[in-house]
Structure 1
């Protein structure tokens, strides 16, 4: 009987170590190289309600000029930290364009990053990806 208790304790220890390892690995944050994407030329893809939207834009550390369907818009950029920023349309044409957009870079890999965005104060998040042009 004592042998069974020792055997069960060993199995519990193995299970505990396995569970601890899985928990630690799942908490690991992906490394993000957000600084690499603060300036340059980019293409963006987002999907809203099943429809795909593609745009091209160029930005420096404070201005982003975007071309979507031959319409060019200019946005000011305010960086919150290396991976988050606020976009505001410099010349909004309507009330909706006056709303600031919060963008958060979720992960980066090579010349691409995935992001989430929403109007400032809105809980509904949309997602997209950006590729830096060489």
Structure 2
């Protein structure tokens, strides 16, 4: 019985070592870069986020969205003045982990099931 208790203690101790760090407040505001590959091409998005707004620059296009914080690690991005109905959908973002100058995240578009993942680096 002592061995089983010791084994359980060691497993619990080791599992806590692999807990994802989430210092989300460090990434609520600032300028960030997100790079992703699509169709063999590297795409780069730069965005600047304040508590209330996000300004995104992608392929010489600038979009501005409102930010609604759900908690320290989750927020909605709601487009301002979208040109099409498809562009009017909100996005839900969630920070999964953080390190010194970047965070890993996932997001979904309102009304869609597909989950996208990425890493943003603070400029």
TM normalised by structure 2 equals 0.84
Any gaps of 5 or more consecutive residues in structure 2?
none
C-alpha RMSD over aligned residues: 2.2
SS where residue 62 of structure 2 aligns?
A: strand
Please list, as runs of the form range in 1=range in 2, the aligned pairs for 1:1-134 lying within 5 A after superposition.
13-23=2-12, 25-26=14-15, 29-47=19-37, 52-133=42-123
Judge conservation of contact 2:21–2:99 (CA < 8 Å) in 1: no
- How far, CA to CA, are the matches of 2:37 and 2:108 in structure 1? 13
Larger Rg: 1
Judge conservation of contact 1:43–1:57 (CA < 8 Å) in 2: yes
TM normalised by structure 1 equals 0.78
Judge conservation of contact 1:47–1:128 (CA < 8 Å) in 2: no
The structure with the largest helix share of the pair is 1
Any gaps of 5 or more consecutive residues in structure 1?
1-8
Deviation digits for residues 43-79 of structure 1 (CA, Å, limit 9, x no counterpart) = 1124567764320111110000000001000011000
- How far, CA to CA, are the matches of 1:33 and 1:104 in structure 2? 12
Structure 1 segments, 4+ long, off by >6 Å, are none
